[in-house]
């Protein structure tokens, strides 16, 4: 019985390594498939709702006059709209400082019936946002603080 030539041995090892790499990639893609949170605006959510309980992100504007705090003090009900559709949202937890009526929000969670149940809220700010610590500073003072933190 003759031994495998060194050239063929390297080729077999290369093919095995390539198959293992492809297998690991497919396994990782399958594992992440159920963890992906898709982004919806209210109109998309109404037109093409995902299955109940699936992790998604809902983005839009918090409608003015819609924020209502529940008696427990930590549950907040509000409506997210995009000018075409409106979605009621329920969130239990501490809301971000920038979470106010009329502002943009991205809520991570899932649909339960007709209500979006948020596990996490991300408040959006515009390009004019200034942290409250720097609100009363002059432009020169703000530059100096930024330079000191680098």
- pLDDT tens for each residue of 30-86: 877 666 667 889 998 889 888 888 889 999 999 999 999 999 989 999 999 998 999
Long-range pairs of 124-130 with CB within 8 A, sequence gap ≥ 24: 124/98, 125/98, 129/98
DSSP, collapsed to helix, strand or coil, labels residue 122 as: strand
Q: Predicted confidence band at 17 (pLDDT cuts at 50, 70, 90)? A: very high
Q: What are phi and psi of 18, to 5 degrees?
A: -65, -45
Contacts of 145 (CB under 8 A, 6+ apart): 134, 137
Residue 19 contacts residue 37 (beta carbons within 8 Å): no
Quickly tell me which residue has 């003015």 as its tokens. Answer: 64
């Amino acid at each position: 019985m003759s031994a495998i030539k060194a050239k063929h041995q390297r080729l077999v090892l290369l093919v095995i390594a390539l198959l293992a790499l492809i297998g690991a990639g497919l396994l990782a893609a399958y594992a992440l498939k159920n963890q992906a949170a898709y982004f919806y605006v209210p109109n998309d959510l109404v037109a093409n709702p995902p299955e109940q309980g699936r992790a998604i992100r809902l983005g839009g504007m918090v409608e003015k006059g819609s924020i209502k705090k529940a008696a427990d003090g930590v549950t907040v009900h509000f409506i997210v709209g995009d000018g075409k559709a409106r979605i009621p949202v329920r969130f239990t937890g501490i809301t971000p400082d920038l979470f106010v009526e009329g502002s943009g929000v991205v809520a991570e969670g899932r649909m339960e019936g007709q209500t979006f149940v948020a596990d996490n809220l991300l408040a959006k700010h515009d390009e004019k946002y200034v942290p409250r610590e720097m609100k009363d500073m002059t432009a020169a003072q703000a530059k100096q603080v930024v330079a000191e933190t680098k």
